[in-house]
Amino acid sequence: MTAVSLKTPAELTELLAFYASAGVDEALEDAPINRFAEARPKQAERASAPVAPVRESRLQERQSSGPSLDANRTAEQQASSPGLDASGIPDAPARPMAAAVPDEGQVLLARQLATSASTLDELRQHMATFDGCNLKFTAKNLVFADGNPNAELMLVGEAPGRDEDLEGLPFVGRSGRLLDRMLAAIGLDRTSAYIANVIPWRPPGNRTPTPHETEICRPFIERQIELVNPKVLVNLGGPSAKTLLNTTEGILRLRGNWRVHTTASGVAIPAMPTLHPAYLLRTPAHKKLAWRDFLEVKAKLRGLG
């Protein structure tokens, strides 16, 4: 491949903008580098290093001075110095205590902000000012929701994609257009449904959100559902179903079976897990399964009337 020569700042800026829109977040060299091979000589060097002279000299001093030094120390004094062995030479460093779960403080902060929001507008403002999730700093927009907040039906996906990130609205790309057709098939549209995601910021390169990122964002979507208070909840895809229904089952096992999402205030909302539109675009043969799920949703809405 012939290297492209970029000379002007404008050309470099244009190239960086292209990389950012494509989700590139790490620079790589042309030739691979084996970092493990680089680390081995250093490890071998440390392993072959001689014992420190100071330690040897201290041991010799204690051996030549006789047992009187240790005899002068009481058992209580020895017990108060856990870092010394029987000869008075420092032991190997103690193993450090286990660290706290990363981002635990941000989860607590997100929960406090979500709980304090009494309206959807307040919740959106809290999420816009929240800096505890790293995804916010690589995304272009907060993707909060779309549709009618007074609707009886709420649909929740996993995370925004490129098109959603650019427009700041959920499900506006190819999967969104398929979702619109699925809603139309049961007599609904975006004016009669409310749509959101578990993660409100696009992960770089459309990668899968990490468990920590999901846990940080969980209080926001749970509060969003509580404020909308729909009659029926549809979980679009496995990540949404697992997060909001507290299950580890796969979506092919979950779909088509009514579950319950319980809000913090104790309200039980019927929930239907179904296949994500993006999955249906890759696996068209399973559209018939989603069609059955949406017929169940239609019947449930009619029954709750």
pLDDT exceeds 70 at position 60: no
Q: Is residue 94 part of a domain?
A: no
pTM, two decimals, is 0.68
Q: Is residue 115 part of a domain?
A: yes
Domain count, the chain: 1
pLDDT exceeds 90 at position 67: no
Condensed to tens digits (0 to 9), the pLDDT of residues 156-177 reads: 999 999 999 999 999 999 999 9
Lowest mean pLDDT among 45-54, 97-106, 134-143, 148-157: 45-54
Q: Is residue 97 part of a domain?
A: no
**pLDDT given for residue 209 in this prediction:** 96
Neighbours of 133 (CB within 10 A): 24
Condensed to tens digits (0 to 9), the pLDDT of residues 217-267 reads: 999 999 999 999 999 999 999 999 999 999 999 999 999 999 999 999 999
Q: Is residue 276 part of a domain?
A: yes
Question: What's the CATH code of the domain at 130?
Answer: 3.40.470.10
Q: Is residue 55 part of a domain?
A: no
**pLDDT given for residue 75 in this prediction:** 43
CA-nearest of 181, 161, 157, 182 to 173 is 161
The C-alpha atoms of residue 178 and residue 157 are separated, in whole angstroms, by 13
pLDDT exceeds 60 at position 82: no
Lowest mean pLDDT among 71-75, 105-109, 154-158, 220-224: 71-75
Q: Of all residues in the chain, what percent carry a pLDDT higher than 70? A: 70
State the residue range of the domain holding 171.
104-304
Q: Is residue 191 part of a domain?
A: yes
Q: Which helix (H) or strand (E) holds 228?
A: helix 211-228
Q: Is residue 296 part of a domain?
A: yes
CA-nearest of 228, 208, 201, 223 to 276 is 208
Look at 63 and 261; give whichever has higher pLDDT: 261
Q: Is residue 229 part of a domain?
A: yes
Q: Cα–chain-centroid distance for residue 150?
A: 29
